[in-house]
Structure 1
Amino acid sequence: MARGPKTTLAAVLLLLTGWAGPSRAEGAGCFHFGYELQDLEANRDVYLGRINALAPRVNFVKRAVFGKGCPNSSAACKDKAYLVPGDEVVISGGDGDFLCASYPGRKGVVTDGWLPRGAVSAVPEEPVAAPHGWIGTWDSGPEQTIRIEAGAQGTLRIKGDATWGASDPGRVARGAVNIGELDGEAPVRGAMLSFGMGEDGPLPYDEADEADCRVQLRRLGAYLLVRDNAMCGGHNVTFTGIYRRR
């Protein structure tokens, strides 16, 4: 698990041993998960990596905005937060000797950034057992929770709550916290779920338009990846992120 102060944006480095993994979006900047992520089902460049045993710990590496000329292997670019062998990360891009990764900590807080490519091994994606591989309560940081339950006729019921500003005592005191919610049902399609929410209730994902709430969920290793279209709640509220099951 990540040690040291949380870095807002960092990077992870991948060693491809055996299985080569999917093709990766190379040369892009390393932003937080979901910043530039498009359709979760169409974008298979997002995959799972595991910190290997080449070093006892692997520090995140600063982005260029936090260190001139970074990422590189110099001491000046080394960040304080680090991972240890066995930690699993979500890989979403790369740049030369570095890969962009996100690590969800045990409490759901995500560290994003660069690490040297040779420190992470690609993990082959495995089938997700339905429904047990989905059912449970999933958290992403202090303001996003999704609950998945068995639904009717082999579907899954997805409920969620998200806020923006609930961690700010001033906003709470002013009543300025924005909220959002999910309430939908969808059939499992491999490692994917998707649904929409319109004015009259839940919709199939493909029948919802951009003014409706549209949500995609993907199981990856121990994680739940979620992407919405920023139409599932008040201003700045989103369910997009990486979740861990309680």
Structure 2
Amino acid sequence: MRLLPVLLLACAAIAAPARTEDAPPCRNGLFPEYEGGFRMGTIGPGPRVHFHRDWPAGECPHGDGCRERAYLVPGDAVLLAHAHGEWTCVWYSGTDRAFVGWLPAARIAVEPATTPDDFEGDWSTFHDTASLQVRNLDDGRIAVTGAATWHGIAGNVNVGEVHGTGRPERNRVRIDEPGDGNGCTLWMERVGADLLVVHDNALCGGLNVRFDNVYRRTPPGTGD
């Protein structure tokens, strides 16, 4: 009889549910690395819906302690990346900040997939940490010139730049700098009416300088 508690504990351990599969990262900085194709969506009817963070692993985004203070309301437009179960990784740009996090997929009305192929224009990130100037070339390629900065907490500033070309395939394009292949490379995807998602190869400038971000096209007449 003394072995009974031990046997019961052993059986309980065997019958315990498996650990929930860890969700992939969903946060600022890593959002542009998604390779599955971005979509646009709108928050559907209902109460305000809060973002959920992606950590700690195994608990978020579904855990009760994962809810963020930031929230969206019906009608807000969002940029969608990868899914994890009943959650979707979302980027949102408000009037004072951009935010990335998990939202319940059931609250998002996904728009039909589109492939806008108009890359030309001047593009900038939400906080103007990077900018890109894209121009059409006569042979069907596009030329991209850009600059990016990173500001350290000690006041130091690192900079980077890109000067390259590429040939778009529908709404995607790879931009390479001329040379031996060790320069800055960008992968760009057009989404919606005025968004451009950019991911780089981490060879575009000084320490921590990245072009990875979501860009908006600068309306004509508002640039420098």
Q: What is the TM-score normalised by the length of structure 2?
A: 0.73
The size of the alignment, in residue pairs, is: 196
Partner of 1:28: 23
**Structure 1 position 164, deviation (Å):** 0.9
2:124 aligned to which of 136, 139, 142: 139
In structure 2, relative to structure 1, the CA distance for the partners of 1:53 and 1:90 (3 Å cut) is closer
Q: Percent identity?
A: 29
**Structure 1 position 155, deviation (Å):** 2.6
| Unaligned stretches of 5+ residues in structure 2 | 1-20, 219-224
Kept in 1, the 8 Å contact 2:23–2:54? The answer is: no
The runs of at least 4 consecutive aligned structure 1 residues that moved more than 3 Å come to: 62-66, 104-107
Partner of 1:186: 166
Distance in 1 (CA, whole Å) between partners of 2:102 and 2:22 is 12
Distance in 1 (CA, whole Å) between partners of 2:87 and 2:195 is 22
Partner of 2:150: 164
Q: What is the correspondence of 1:228-243 to structure 2 with a 5 Å cutoff? A: 228-243=200-215
Higher relative contact order (CA 8 A, sep 6+): 1
Distance in 2 (CA, whole Å) between partners of 1:52 and 1:87 is 5
Partner of 1:51: 42
Cα displacement string for residues 149-192 of structure 1 (whole angstroms, at most 9, x for unaligned residues): 233333322111101117x5x42xxxx31111111222222101
Partner of 2:80: 91
Partner of 1:215: 186
**Structure 1 position 27, deviation (Å):** 5.2
**Secondary structure, counterpart of 1:118 in structure 2:** helix
Cα displacement string for residues 87-123 of structure 1 (whole angstroms, at most 9, x for unaligned residues): 333333233322222223456x431111112111222
The one-letter code sitting in structure 2 at the alignment partner of 1:232 is C
The one-letter code sitting in structure 2 at the alignment partner of 1:86 is G
Please say which structure displays the higher CA radius of gyration: 2
Kept in 2, the 8 Å contact 1:51–1:84? The answer is: no
Partner of 1:125: 113
Counterpart check, 1:115 vs 2:103: yes
